[in-house]
C-alpha cells in the first residue's frame, strides 16, 4: 500500500527516513543547502561518476573531482524539485549519461529522503 497524506493511520514520522549521507565522509547532509551533486563528463558529453557530497562551504574536502577539468557540479537543492528531475530524465532520453541506473539511484536517494530535507513534506500534517 502506498502511503497517502490523507491517511490518518499513517504517522508522518513513519515515512521520514534518515537524511542523505555524503559519498565521501559518510556524515549526514541534513539539508539540501548543505549538499552538492558532482559528476564528470566524458569526451562525448556523457555524465558519469555522480556523487552526493557536502557543499564546499560545509566541508571542502568532500569534493572528489576538484582537480578534474571535466567536472560538473551544482547545489543539491537544484535537484530537489521538478526541474532537477527533468534535467536528468532529459539527459537519459538523449543518451547523455553512461549509466542510467546510477542516475535513477541518485534521484531516488534525493527524493526518497526529501521529507527529511524539506519542511514542506507531503507527510507533514
Q: Which of residues 81-100 bind Zn ion (CB under 5 A)?
A: none
Give the nearest distance from C-beta 22 to Zn ion in angstroms. 3
Residues 41, 47 contacting (CB under 8 angstroms): yes
Give the nearest distance from C-beta 26 to Zn ion in angstroms. 7
59 binds Zn ion (CB under 5 A): yes
Q: Is 48 helix (H, G, I), strand (E, B) or coil?
A: strand
76 binds Zn ion (CB under 5 A): no
d(CA 50, CA 52): 7
54 binds Zn ion (CB under 5 A): yes
Residues 67, 25 contacting (CB under 8 angstroms): no
Please report, as ranges, the residues that interact with Zn ion according to CB under 5 A. Answer: 22, 24-25, 54, 59, 62
Amino acid at each position: 500500500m502506498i502511503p497517502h497524506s490523507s491517511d490518518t493511520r499513517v504517522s508522518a514520522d513513519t515515512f521520514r527516513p534518515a537524511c542523505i549521507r555524503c559519498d565521501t565522509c559518510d556524515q549526514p547532509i541534513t539539508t539540501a543547502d548543505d549538499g552538492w551533486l558532482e559528476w564528470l563528463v566524458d569526451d562525448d558529453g556523457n555524465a558519469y561518476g555522480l556523487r552526493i557530497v557536502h557543499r564546499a562551504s560545509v566541508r571542502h574536502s568532500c569534493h572528489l573531482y576538484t582537480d578534474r577539468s571535466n567536472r560538473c557540479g551544482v547545489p543539491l537543492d537544484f535537484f530537489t524539485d521538478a526541474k532537477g528531475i527533468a534535467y536528468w530524465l532529459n539527459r537519459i532520453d538523449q543518451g547523455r549519461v553512461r549509466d542510467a541506473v546510477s542516475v535513477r539511484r541518485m534521484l531516488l536517494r534525493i527524493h526518497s529522503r526529501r521529507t527529511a530535507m524539506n519542511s514542506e513534506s507531503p507527510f507533514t500534517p
